[in-house]
Amino acid sequence: IALHSLDAAQPHHSLLHTRDSINNLPLLTATMNSTNEGLPLHRAALANDLLTIQKLATQGNIDPNLEDANGITALIEASIAGHDEIVRYLITEAKCPAHPPTGSRHTPIRGAAVAGRVSTMKLLLELGADPNALSEERRTALMGACFLRSTVEGDHEQISKECVEVLLSDARTDPTIANSFGETALDLARVRGYEASARLVEDAVKNWKPQ
């Protein structure tokens, strides 16, 4: 089950294509996916089952950083689901990096952002996540916050604003980064109609000074 379905009939290079594809992060909804068969840590993370997570992590025969076929780790599962206790445990006890190593296809911080998980984003940043970490197609957490997945419950504009505020409160967050299609977070906020988020990002762009 995709976080955003990929429409192969649409080009992926302009603001005119179906926007649900722009934040494609394969796998992860609140429903089990057959992709997770044989990945007990992923299943436990998705189910918010901390006891099983602890048991598996201490057995020593399971790699807590293992990616599934779509490049998703147990930490990313928990981040998108907003399971903060499991996110904290995986990072602090199971030694899963809050900022994944170079070559990772996806990042926990962007997963949390595109799912509108404000508290999870704060936790990830607190535990060392890089707000500018790039997922496939050079997608950042700020882009995810400006283009929430369609299934996020609640007022998308308000949730987006809160997510953007969390990211922009970190002085490292670069609002000028463009994805592989030349789209910035500001572009995506405008496409979605997130006016408050667009204003915040626009101001951040004007005031941005490269570190």
Confidence of residue 1 (pLDDT cuts 50, 70, 90): very low
Share of the chain above pLDDT 90, in %: 69
User: How far, CA to CA in Å, does 52 sit from each of 9, 32, 33, 135, 144?
Assistant: 41, 16, 18, 28, 30
In the numeric block, the tokens 């609640």 are attached to 154
Structure confidence at residue 61 (pLDDT): 80
Q: What is the pLDDT of residues 113-171, one digit of tens each?
A: 999 999 999 999 999 999 999 999 999 999 999 999 999 999 999 999 999 999 999 99
Determine phi and psi for 140, rounding to 5 degrees: -105, 170
Q: In terms of C-beta distances under 8 Å and separation of at least 24 residues, what long-range contacts does 93-102 make, across chains too?
A: 93/54, 93/57, 94/53, 94/57, 94/64, 95/64, 96/64, 96/65, 97/65, 97/128, 98/124, 98/127, 98/128, 98/129, 99/128, 99/129, 99/130, 99/133, 100/65, 100/73, 100/133
Single-letter amino acid code for the residue at 40: P
The token pair at 205 is: 């762009």
The token pair at 49 is: 């089952």
In the numeric block, the tokens 């504009």 are attached to 157
In the numeric block, the tokens 């910035």 are attached to 184
Task: Write out the H or E segment, with its range, that includes residue 202.
Answer: helix 195-207
User: How far, CA to CA in Å, does 40 sit from each of 74, 84, 91, 104, 193?
Assistant: 9, 19, 17, 20, 39
Structure confidence at residue 7 (pLDDT): 25
Whether the per-residue pLDDT at 108 is higher than 60: the answer is yes
Q: How far apart are CA 210 and CA 49, in angstroms?
A: 41
DSSP string, 82-137: T-HHHHHHHHHTS---SSPPTT-S--HHHHHHHTT-HHHHHHHHHTT--TT--BGG
**How much is the average pLDDT of 191-199?**
97
In the numeric block, the tokens 């977070």 are attached to 185
Structure confidence at residue 205 (pLDDT): 97
Whether the per-residue pLDDT at 5 is higher than 80: the answer is no
Share of the chain above pLDDT 70, in %: 82
